[in-house]
């Protein structure tokens, strides 16, 4: 079924809202600077709602069904978070309002800083970064600034394991530094000998290392304390990619494990919606040596303006700040949701989140490992990686992408595919704690059925999906033709 574009249902004169009459004398418009045309669509309110409702029907979200997208933590988005984030006291406040008139908002931010500090084990927190990758850029710039401040201006190397998210090397080079890749060993952990050799070779130039723990194979890096010690010995700092914090909530604090910097993903671990690709929020925690380098402003207490037990919250900029990483203070609306989540769950609830995320992942892994090759067979954390369909099926030309597309026919969103890069045909599965045993069982059944189907009729999988809103889409054609916008036909123009 072809769905028209909103431009294709447009008709001159329609409008989906009404605006007030002008209540003052009009002023003159300057000549030569006024535009002539603006081809935005013209639709009625009813047509607009139907258009977007139809689009929502061909979109799959966590609300639609199981979304085991590895590394993305697609947990349920609680509705209380949405309700309170829409309170006018939060939505209708301007970032430049007098601090006295936004003490509720500043209290919330201050308390969230305290919560993140306690959960991560870091004395300093910035809430400004807008997403995980933005937090990485912030953290790497902080590490760079720390060395420069010590007069150590030749350090420009950051070590990154070969299993890392692509954002890690991209953030490093954006900060003007060089990436040195560290291989993984047969257990899926960092190859310690290779790490030592790289640290020796680049000792003078070492800024630090970026490590995801649990790593992208879903395994807890058992040598973490040793790795931190080696990097520290060479004057480097340890950056933690907190994308996988859902496994560690209340279980271990990255600050206690030896990390100096870490970004959180409020849109993964703390249940705020992914929004079809944002907005996220990527607060960064740092050790005491790095607090002065945080981007500003952060929320602090102004002792002079505080009265008795009533603290006065203020925005202030750390002494040696790397600068602002975005305008204003961060994604406040996302912070309201994360704050609400932490208050709802409390200390015990947060630990139960991690326990059940890990329970679900291990349970599903046990269900699937007889059917799908599991390259690292040990207790996993909140996710695990399979090496595609079984060998005999792959020999018949059925690959991970075919399994992914066929899962859609069974009503599931596919897992993350072809990542991490160190596992060929990777299927990366993260169920999250908000899924029931029944859902996991149904998914495991579908995964097993798909392998049986592949053995019987490989072409069925190549054809998949058959029941999704669309058949397989041609990505090569999209890159070749490069149609990035709608164009009016001659008669419209």
Partner 1 sequence: MPYIPHSDADRKAMLQTIGVPSLEALFEDIPASARFPDLDLPAPLSEMGVRWELESLAEANLTTAEGSCFLGAGAYRHFVPAVVDAVISRGEFFSAYTPYQPEVSQGTLQAIFEYQTMICELTGMDVSNASHYDGATSTAEAVITAVNVHRMRRKKVVVSPFLHPEYRNVVRTYTQGMDLTIVGDEAASTDPTELLDKDTACVIVQYPDFLGRFEDLTDLGQAAQDVGALLIVATDPIALGLLKPPSAFGADIVTGEGQGLGIGLNFGGPYLGFFAAKKKHVRKIAGRLVGQTSDAEGERGFVLTLSTREQHIRRERATSNICTNQGLMALAAAVYMAALGKCGLRQVAELCYHKAHYAADEIDKLDGFSVLRDKPFFKEFAVRCPAPVAEINDHLLRKRAIMGGYDLGETYPEYKDHMLLCVTEMNPRQEIDRLVRTLKEVTS
Nearer to partner 1, 22 or 154 (CB): 22
348 or 391: CB nearest partner 1: 348
Q: How far is the CB of 109 from partner 1 (least distance, A)?
A: 9
**Residue 306 or 344: which CB sits closer to partner 1?**
344
Long-range contacts of 201-204, Cβ-Cβ distance < 8 Å, separation of 24 or more: 202/157, 202/159, 202/234, 203/234, 203/235, 204/154, 204/155
Q: Which is nearer to partner 1, 87 or 392 (CB)?
A: 87
Nearest alpha carbon to residue 123 among 134, 109, 113 = 113
Q: From the CB of 196, what's the least distance to partner 1, in Å?
A: 20
Distance CA 142, CA 127 (A): 14
Smallest separation, CB 379 to partner 1 (Å)? 6
Q: CB of 391: closest distance to partner 1 in angstroms?
A: 25
CA angle at residue 281 from 88 to 253, to 5 degrees?
120
CA distance 95 to 159: 38
To partner 1, the closest distance from the beta carbon of 303 in angstroms equals 20
Residue 479 CB, shortest distance to partner 1, in Å, is: 5
State phi, psi for 292 to the nearest 5 degrees.
-70, -15
CB of 58 to partner 1, least distance (A): 4
Which residue lies nearer to partner 1 by CB, 3 or 150? Answer: 3
In terms of CB distance, is 333 or 395 closer to partner 1?
333
Closest distance of CB 378 from partner 1, Å: 8
C-alpha span between 156 and 207 (Å, rounded): 6
Closest approach, Cβ 244 to partner 1, in A, equals 13
What is the CB-side half-sphere exposure of residue 52 using CA atoms within 13 A? 6
Degrees to nearest 5, angle at CA 284 with 280 and 287? 170
Residue 216: which residues within 8 A CB-CB, separation 6 or more? Answer: 70, 71, 163, 164, 165, 244, 385, 419, 420, 428
Angle at which helix 437-456 crosses helix 332-368, to 10 degrees, equals 60
* Rounded (10°) CA dihedral 335, 341, 345, 348: -40
Q: Which is nearer to partner 1, 88 or 391 (CB)?
A: 88
Is the Cβ of residue 82 or residue 395 nearer to partner 1 in the bound state?
82
CB 312 within 8 A of CB 302: yes
Contact 62, 77 (CB under 8 A): yes
CB of 89 to partner 1, least distance (A): 3
Least distance (Å) from partner 1 to the CB of residue 335? Answer: 9
Query: From CA 241, how far away is CA 210, in angstroms rounded?
Result: 7
**Is the Cβ of residue 67 or residue 394 nearer to partner 1 in the bound state?**
67
**What three-state secondary structure class fits 487?**
coil
- In the complex with partner 1, the residue whose CB is nearer, 92 or 391, is 92
Residue 459, CB-side half-sphere exposure with 13 Å CA sphere: 0
The backbone region for 302, taken as left when phi is positive above 0, alpha when psi lies in -120 to 50, beta otherwise, is beta
CA-closest candidate to residue 288, choices 261, 315, 264: 261
- The first and second tokens of residue 290, run together, are 């790095």
Query: How many CA atoms lie within 13 Å of 4's alpha carbon, on the beta-carbon side?
Result: 11
Distance CA 380, CA 378 (A): 6
> Which SS3 state, helix, strand or coil, does residue 306 take?
coil
Q: How is residue 350 written in tokens? A: 């947060």
Which residue number, 334 or 387, has a Cβ lying nearer to partner 1?
A: 334
Q: How far is the CB of 184 from partner 1 (least distance, A)?
A: 15
Going by C-alpha positions, the residue among 380, 339, 388 that lies closest to residue 360 is 380
> Which CB atom, from 397 or from 469, has the smaller least distance to partner 1?
469
């Amino acid at each position: 079924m072809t769905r028209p574009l909103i431009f294709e249902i447009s008709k001159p004169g329609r409008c989906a809202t009404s605006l007030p009459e002008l209540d003052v004398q009009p002023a003159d418009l300057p000549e030569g600077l006024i535009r002539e045309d603006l081809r935005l669509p013209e639709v009625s309110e009813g047509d607009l709602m139907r258009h977007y409702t139809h689009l929502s029907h061909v979109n799959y979200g966590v609300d639609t069904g199981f979304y085991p997208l590895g590394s993305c933590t697609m947990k349920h988005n609680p509705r209380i978070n949405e309700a309170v984030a829409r309170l006018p006291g939060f939505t209708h406040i301007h970032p430049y309002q007098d601090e006295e008139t936004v003490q509720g908002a500043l209290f919330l931010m201050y308390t969230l800083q305290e919560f993140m500090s306690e959960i991560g084990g870091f004395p300093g927190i910035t809430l400004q970064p807008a997403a995980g990758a933005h937090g990485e850029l912030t953290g790497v710039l902080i590490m760079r600034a720390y060395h420069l401040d010590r007069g150590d201006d030749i350090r420009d190397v950051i070590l990154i394991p070969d299993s890392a998210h692509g954002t890690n090397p991209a953030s490093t080079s954006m900060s003007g530094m060089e990436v040195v890749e560290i291989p993984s060993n047969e257990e899926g952990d960092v190859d310690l000998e290779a790490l030592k050799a790289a640290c020796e070779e680049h000792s003078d130039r070492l800024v630090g290392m970026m490590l995801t723990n649990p790593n992208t194979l879903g395994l807890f890096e058992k040598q973490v304390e040793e790795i931190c010690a080696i990097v520290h010995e060479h004057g480097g700092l340890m950056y933690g990619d907190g994308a996988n914090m859902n496994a560690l909530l209340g279980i271990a604090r990255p600050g206690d494990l030896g990390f100096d910097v870490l970004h959180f993903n409020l849109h993964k671990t703390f249940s705020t919606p992914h929004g079809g690709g944002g907005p996220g929020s990527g607060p960064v925690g740092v050790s005491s040596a790095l607090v002065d380098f945080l981007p500003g402003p952060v929320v602090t207490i102004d002792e002079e303006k505080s009265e008795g037990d009533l603290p006065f919250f203020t925005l202030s900029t750390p002494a040696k700040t790397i600068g602002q990483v975005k305008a204003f203070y961060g994604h406040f609306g996302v912070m309201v949701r994360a704050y609400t989540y932490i208050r709802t769950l409390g200390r015990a609830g947060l630990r139960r989140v991690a326990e059940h995320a890990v329970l679900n992942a291990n349970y599903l892994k046990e269900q699937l490992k007889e059917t799908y090759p599991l390259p690292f067979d040990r207790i996993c954390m909140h996710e695990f990686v399979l090496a595609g369909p079984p060998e005999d099926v792959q020999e018949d030309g059925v690959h991970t992408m075919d399994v992914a597309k066929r899962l859609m026919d069974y009503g599931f969103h596919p897992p993350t595919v072809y990542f991490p890069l160190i596992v060929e045909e990777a299927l990366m599965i993260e169920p999250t704690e908000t899924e029931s045993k029944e859902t996991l069982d149904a998914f495991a059944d579908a995964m097993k059925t798909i392998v049986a189907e592949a053995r019987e009729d490989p072409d069925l999988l190549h054809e998949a999906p058959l029941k999704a809103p669309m058949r397989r889409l041609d990505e090569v054609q999209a890159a070749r033709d490069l149609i990035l916008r709608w164009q009016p036909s001659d008669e419209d123009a």
